[in-house]
Chain A
Amino acid sequence: MTAVPLDTFRAELERLRADAEAALTVAADAAAVEAARIEFLGAKSGRLKAIQKSLSGLAGADKPAGGKQFNDTKNAITACFEAAQARVGAGASGPAASAIDVTLPAERFRLGHLHPITKTIRRVQEIMGRLGFESVDGPEVEDQWHNFEALAIPAEHPARDPLDNFYLAVARDADPLLLRSQTSTVQIRVMENREPPLRIVSLGRVYRPDTADATHYPMFHQVEGLLVEPGTTMAHLKSVLRMFASSFLGGDVKVRFRPSFFPFTEPSVEVDMEWGGRWVEMGGAGMVDPAVLEAVGYDPDVVTGFAFGLGVERIAARRYGVDDIRDFYRNDVRFLRQF
């Protein structure tokens, strides 16, 4: 009978040790540790026992070295087993003297909460950001040019009626100031200062003299998107809004356009999205009116663009089940802490 080569014997020991350590390290409970003990250290058919038998097959000169390595391996696996046993608490029975009532109240720190309107705006920004739209803000006190004229709302337009806006009582003869009635003002400011291509979302507070009720508040929030690039079509508008809807509402959401009228877009549409099995009006949209492009110094024969606006309160109310939008402005922390 040929002697077992020492290298082979050593390699077997190494593998055994690696296997045992791996098994004992991941063993999650007492049963798993015990199963590993039987596999590796079992007195009758453990793998260590099996290797011990081949120790006698080593050449005489190799036996001292082989024996030493066998003992090292056995000690290492035993130590590993004991560590695992301690870790899973096997062997102990009954509660430890230092056991705690884990249902006792925790030492808590208080978490703050973002307002649900902010959360909704952030979500829109995040989705539009992935589509390449950059967030911008601007002043809330505006002049006639940015709030009306550049948006193709002429002096005789009903939207400029003093009763329908919050005008400032400051002397500024021909150009009274007002609290902006839409965030399109920011789009005008950006277009005046930058050249296309342009993708922005403007967002923030806007103001219209509505009597406060469950669905109206004289101060509210808008998010408006604007894209100006050569060759832009309504198909781009619809595709972007569908991607937005799918991301915001989840799933393969349908978008539908209904014709509408806004002074600063042509064609103009209302945007419905399918939400909870029915069509929900999400906002207005359209192709940027050539008059608006001209007002900011763009050439409508060279660039075209689309714009859309979403009412944040309406979306947030629906998203969070808030049936009275005045609740958003009551600042009751019992409300705020739910978001």
Chain B
Amino acid sequence: MIISTNWLADYVQVPGTVDDLVERLLMSGLNHESTTAVGDDTAVEIEVTSNRPDCLGHIGVAREAAVLYGRPLHVPDPRPLEGAGEAARSIAVEIRAGEICPCYTARVIRGVKVGPSPKWLVDRLATVGVASVNNVVDVTNYVMLESGQPLHAFDLAKIRGGRIVVRRAGAGEPFVAINHKTYTLSERMCVIADAERPVALAGVMGGADTEIAADTVDVLLESAQFAPLPVRAAARGLVLASASSYRFERGPDPAMVDWASRRAASLILELAGGSLERGVVADGTLASAPAEIRLAADRVGEVLGVDVADARQRQILTALGFVEIRDGGPHEHRWRVPTWRRDCWREIDLVEEIARIEGYDRVPENVAIAARPIELSARERTVRRAAEVLVAAGLCEALTRSVVTEAMAATPSPWGEAVPLVISPPLVRGADRLRRSLLPSLLEARAGNAAVGVDDADLFEIAHVYLAHRGGAAREPVEEPLVAGLVVGGDFTRAKGLCEALLEGLGIAGGEGRLGWRPLEIAPFARGRAAEVLLERPGRDPDRVAVVGEVAGGLGSTGSVSAAEVRLDRLTFAATIERRLVRPSDFPAVQRDLNLVVDEGVPWGEVEAAIRAAAGSVVEDCRLVQVWRDADRLGAGRKSFVVALSFRSSSGTLSGDEAGEIVAGVVAECGRRVNAALRS
């Protein structure tokens, strides 16, 4: 909303400077956008929140200024002189869509002389950025910008059949607006029609062939009320927003319907001559039973934390146009809400009115708040710990879009088979699928870095992924696992190492279940180069907690690329486990190296499991040193694991004999489980 300060002065004499006015309006709820000098006038652009349609006209803003400066507000009371003829004989009005148009009024002015507007009018409109058209159209714009009530003037001669019908549009009905574009209407929209066709799109824009032209002699002046939703739907549906639709979407003061009509009629008579026919032709009623609100005397203090004197409260509300009803007791007042303030209907709304005029600088800012102990949730601790480990490992945190392209969404999710959910509109061009895995996004981010010559972008992200429930019977149709994804240069072992470090950091490796690594084939990983990590906990089915692998094709970059995705939401339990010290043993460790020969198909994991099972808790370290193959010395299809073992007891020094016994047990168990032979 742009305000002309010269225009504002018609209604209130502001004693201070424009800057002072702007500051006071800003601090009472009308945000300042800009101040611009226009000739001898000043244009002040203010932001009006959607609850304050009363400030979409100069009178409403003047009322605010009058309250803030304690000055009287002068609102004209137009009484246009009525001449010969009955308006009701010139036009009939019928509302057939009362739910969209509760009230429609028409006045008729005959014998006008359409021409240029006087300088004062042209100047004022120019200040607020409205181009002058002619004296009649300018008056309708002027009165809208004065009162907030949109008006429309028709050339009465072009209205066919002597009647105005407010009705829903027919499906596909064409309409040519003042901008000379043709719009195709739908039944959800409301039109002002004559006996034959639409002459205006209700509350949005007039029609081209009934507009006021140089040869117009008789004017039909419309002032009506339209419901916000249908006006918005029509304006948005046709991409045809106007100053009129903007106001009707927010709900102008119903009392202004007649006032604006009288005001415009007066000004047209004054500027374009002619004669006003007697009466106003109307259909419908203005629903505006004014609300009454009780305000307890101490309520303002209870909300603000600072008292405002009773007399001051009453002064503010009265100045804003609220009317005190003198039957409240000593501890409360009753107030009738003015017609232009339908945003106020509860006690708390009156409290806000008093607060914003009194000024929030009166609210104290040094009140004590009682201490309250809190703790980070297990989920929050898990997220932080995961980020900590990955940052320590040298990865940078990325933030990629939750919504991806169809091509990216085609990568299967490690967490479920449901198809990706689609949103409308797309988040950005082409991206309308909620992602089911972070990896496509992180791979794209890594490729983006490579494109600018950074080949070593090791990235991670912690975010939700989105999985539709299959079947749809569930009450919550979307599951949102919290996952950590990572993409790094290097082969499988690098991603596996990061994944293990992450799990260790989260406290998973410490005996609260067992981790199993199993081969997995799933995109975007290369065949035979990926694994799933299963967490086995007592009394539960194994849970897939991570997938790890080398990325197929390595992104076309020089080296290989590996990635992992970890289900943090399945690991938060570890954050709640109380850690107890296991005292390190003071007794010396005994080292033994073994060379175990097994068939090619035996995975290391099974050998390690056999070793640990046989040796039990004295195994301090079980490290694979080397894998070698030599058909001549080991036999075809055989391989050798060279293992460095370290044993340590917590209860005494292990003797050579004891160590020998442990090793013998290990060898026997490896022989039994995986047919391993000791090569000495």
State the A residues within 8 Å of B (CB): 109-115, 117-118, 122, 129, 131-137, 139-141, 156, 158, 161-163, 166-172, 177-179, 197, 199, 205, 207, 209, 212, 218-219, 233-236, 238-243, 255-261, 266-270, 287, 289-290, 304, 328-334, 336-337
Tell which of A139, A167, A238 has the most Cβ of chain B within 10 Å.
A238
Closest chain B CB from A138 CB (angstroms):
9
Q: Find residues 1-38 in chain B having any chain A CB closer than 8 Å to their own CB.
A: 26-29, 31
Q: Which residues of B contact A334 (CB under 8 A)?
A: 452, 454
Q: Which of B232, B384, B477 contacts A170 (CB 8 A)?
A: B477
The verdict on A163 contacting B236 (CB below 8 Å), with A158-B50, A259-B29, A331-B459 known, is yes
Query: Is the pair A132, B425 in contact by a Cβ cutoff of 8 Å?
Result: no
Query: Is the pair B425, A166 in contact by a Cβ cutoff of 8 Å?
Result: yes
A sample of 4 more A-B contacts (CB under 8 A), given A115-B397, A258-B26, is: A236-B305, A258-B29, A266-B352, A333-B396
Query: For the complex, what is the distance from the CA of A139 to the CA of B463, rounded to whole Å?
Result: 11
Q: Which residues of A contact B401 (CB under 8 A)?
A: 219, 329
Closest 10 CB pairs of A and B: A235-B305, A233-B305, A132-B372, A259-B29, A257-B360, A110-B394, A261-B49, A112-B391, A267-B352, A259-B356
Query: Is the pair A260, B49 in contact by a Cβ cutoff of 8 Å?
Result: yes
Query: For the complex, what is the distance from the CA of A139 to the CA of B400, rounded to whole Å?
Result: 17
Query: Is the pair A233, B372 in contact by a Cβ cutoff of 8 Å?
Result: no
Closest chain A CB from B534 CB (angstroms):
27
B434 contacts the other chain (CB 8 A): yes
The verdict on A132 contacting B374 (CB below 8 Å), with A234-B304, A235-B305 known, is yes
Q: Which residues of A contact B384 (CB under 8 A)?
A: 122
Query: For the complex, what is the distance from the CA of A141 to the CA of B346, rounded to whole Å?
Result: 33
Query: For the complex, what is the distance from the CA of A135 to the CA of B381, rounded to whole Å?
Result: 11
Q: Which of A135, A233, A242, A331 contacts B303 (CB 8 A)?
A: A233
B680 contacts the other chain (CB 8 A): no
Q: What is the chain B residue whose CB lies nearest that of A136?
A: B377
Q: Which residues of B contact A168 (CB under 8 A)?
A: 421-423, 434, 478
Tell which of A136, A260, A304 has the most Cβ of chain B within 10 Å.
A260
Q: Find residues 215-270 in chain B having any chain A CB closer than 8 Å to their own CB.
A: 228-229, 232, 236, 249
Query: Is the pair A330, B372 in contact by a Cβ cutoff of 8 Å?
Result: no
Q: Find residues 444-468 in chain B having any chain A CB closer than 8 Å to their own CB.
A: 445, 448-449, 452, 454, 457-460, 463-464, 466, 468
Q: Find residues 332-383 in chain B having any chain A CB closer than 8 Å to their own CB.
A: 346, 348-349, 351-352, 355-356, 360-361, 363-377, 379-380
Query: Is the pair A169, B423 in contact by a Cβ cutoff of 8 Å?
Result: yes
Closest chain A CB from B354 CB (angstroms):
9
B387 contacts the other chain (CB 8 A): yes
B285 contacts the other chain (CB 8 A): no
Q: Which of B51, B349, B374 contacts A199 (CB 8 A)?
A: B374
Query: Is the pair B360, A258 in contact by a Cβ cutoff of 8 Å?
Result: yes
Q: Which of A111, A118, A178, A267 contacts B351 (CB 8 A)?
A: A267
Query: Is the pair B365, A218 in contact by a Cβ cutoff of 8 Å?
Result: no
The verdict on A328 contacting B399 (CB below 8 Å), with A158-B232, A234-B305 known, is yes
The verdict on A261 contacting B51 (CB below 8 Å), with A115-B397, A239-B366 known, is yes
Closest chain B CB from A83 CB (angstroms):
30
B81 contacts the other chain (CB 8 A): no
Query: Is the pair A259, B303 in contact by a Cβ cutoff of 8 Å?
Result: no
The verdict on A166 contacting B427 (CB below 8 Å), with A135-B380, A331-B398 known, is yes
Q: Which of A117, A132, A233, A331 contacts B448 (CB 8 A)?
A: A331
B390 contacts the other chain (CB 8 A): yes
Q: What is the chain A residue whose CB lies nearest that of B306?
A: A235
Query: Is the pair A259, B374 in contact by a Cβ cutoff of 8 Å?
Result: no
Query: For the complex, what is the distance from the CA of A162 to the CA of B232, rounded to whole Å?
Result: 12
Query: For the complex, what is the distance from the CA of A171 to the CA of B421, rounded to whole Å?
Result: 11
Query: Is the pair A139, B421 in contact by a Cβ cutoff of 8 Å?
Result: no
Q: Which residues of A contact B370 (CB under 8 A)?
A: 132
B393 contacts the other chain (CB 8 A): yes
Query: Is the pair A171, B472 in contact by a Cβ cutoff of 8 Å?
Result: yes
Q: What is the chain B residue whose CB lies nearest that of A131?
A: B369
B117 contacts the other chain (CB 8 A): no
B52 contacts the other chain (CB 8 A): yes
The verdict on A141 contacting B480 (CB below 8 Å), with A258-B27, A331-B400 known, is yes
B541 contacts the other chain (CB 8 A): no
Closest chain B CB from A152 CB (angstroms):
11
Q: Which residues of A contact B349 (CB under 8 A)?
A: 266
Q: What is the chain B residue whose CB lies nearest that of A178?
A: B423
B166 contacts the other chain (CB 8 A): no
Q: What is the chain B residue whose CB lies nearest that of A231?
A: B302
Q: What is the chain B residue whose CB lies nearest that of A203?
A: B380
Query: Is the pair A234, B363 in contact by a Cβ cutoff of 8 Å?
Result: yes
16 contacts between A and B (CB under 8 A): A112-B458, A115-B399, A122-B384, A132-B370, A139-B464, A158-B249, A166-B424, A170-B468, A219-B402, A219-B403, A234-B305, A236-B305, A259-B28, A329-B400, A331-B445, A336-B397
Q: Which residues of B contact A243 (CB under 8 A)?
A: 369
Q: Which residues of A contact B484 (CB under 8 A)?
A: none
Query: Is the pair B228, A156 in contact by a Cβ cutoff of 8 Å?
Result: yes
Query: For the complex, what is the distance from the CA of A84 to the CA of B466, rounded to whole Å?
Result: 66
Query: Is the pair B428, A212 in contact by a Cβ cutoff of 8 Å?
Result: yes
Tell which of B373, B403, B477 has the most Cβ of chain A within 10 Å.
B477
Query: Is the pair B454, A239 in contact by a Cβ cutoff of 8 Å?
Result: no
Q: Which of A112, A135, A207, A235 contacts B427 (CB 8 A)?
A: A207
B610 contacts the other chain (CB 8 A): no
Q: What is the chain B residue whose CB lies nearest that of A266?
A: B348
Closest chain A CB from B53 CB (angstroms):
12
Query: Is the pair B477, A331 in contact by a Cβ cutoff of 8 Å?
Result: no
B395 contacts the other chain (CB 8 A): yes
Closest chain A CB from B342 CB (angstroms):
14
Q: Which residues of B contact A233 (CB under 8 A)?
A: 302-305, 367
Query: Is the pair A235, B304 in contact by a Cβ cutoff of 8 Å?
Result: yes
B392 contacts the other chain (CB 8 A): yes
Query: Is the pair A132, B428 in contact by a Cβ cutoff of 8 Å?
Result: no
Q: Which residues of B contact A137 (CB under 8 A)?
A: 379-380
Query: For the complex, what is the distance from the CA of A261 to the CA of B54, rounded to whole Å?
Result: 14
Query: Is the pair B434, A141 in contact by a Cβ cutoff of 8 Å?
Result: yes
Query: Is the pair A259, B396 in contact by a Cβ cutoff of 8 Å?
Result: no
The verdict on A235 contacting B423 (CB below 8 Å), with A197-B372, A267-B303, A328-B399 known, is no
Q: Find residues 424-452 in chain B having any chain A CB closer than 8 Å to their own CB.
A: 424-425, 427-428, 434, 445, 448-449, 452
Query: Is the pair B303, A156 in contact by a Cβ cutoff of 8 Å?
Result: no
Query: Is the pair B448, A332 in contact by a Cβ cutoff of 8 Å?
Result: yes
Closest chain A CB from B193 CB (angstroms):
25
The verdict on A112 contacting B393 (CB below 8 Å), with A129-B374, A139-B480 known, is yes
Query: Is the pair A238, B365 in contact by a Cβ cutoff of 8 Å?
Result: yes
Q: What is the chain A residue whose CB lies nearest that of B347?
A: A290
Closest chain A CB from B319 CB (angstroms):
16
Q: Which of A115, A169, A257, A261 contacts B398 (CB 8 A)?
A: A115
Query: Is the pair B399, A239 in contact by a Cβ cutoff of 8 Å?
Result: no
Query: Is the pair B303, A304 in contact by a Cβ cutoff of 8 Å?
Result: yes
Query: For the complex, what is the distance from the CA of A63 to the CA of B29, rounded to whole Å?
Result: 97
Closest chain A CB from B434 CB (angstroms):
7
Query: Is the pair A329, B399 in contact by a Cβ cutoff of 8 Å?
Result: yes
The verdict on A205 contacting B402 (CB below 8 Å), with A140-B480, A336-B397 known, is yes
Query: For the complex, what is the distance from the CA of A170 to the CA of B432, rounded to whole Å?
Result: 13
Q: What is the chain A residue whose CB lies nearest that of B354?
A: A267
Closest chain A CB from B431 CB (angstroms):
9
Query: Is the pair B394, A235 in contact by a Cβ cutoff of 8 Å?
Result: no
Query: Is the pair A258, B396 in contact by a Cβ cutoff of 8 Å?
Result: no
Q: Which residues of A contact B49 (CB under 8 A)?
A: 260-261
Q: Which residues of A contact B375 (CB under 8 A)?
A: 134
Query: For the complex, what is the distance from the CA of A156 to the CA of B421, rounded to whole Å?
Result: 26
Query: Is the pair B449, A118 in contact by a Cβ cutoff of 8 Å?
Result: no
Q: Which residues of B contact A161 (CB under 8 A)?
A: 232, 236
Q: Which of B348, B380, B396, B452 contacts A112 (CB 8 A)?
A: B396
Closest chain B CB from A329 CB (angstroms):
6
Q: Which residues of B contact A331 (CB under 8 A)?
A: 398-400, 445, 448-449, 457, 459
Closest chain A CB from B597 CB (angstroms):
37
The verdict on A234 contacting B427 (CB below 8 Å), with A141-B434, A161-B236 known, is no
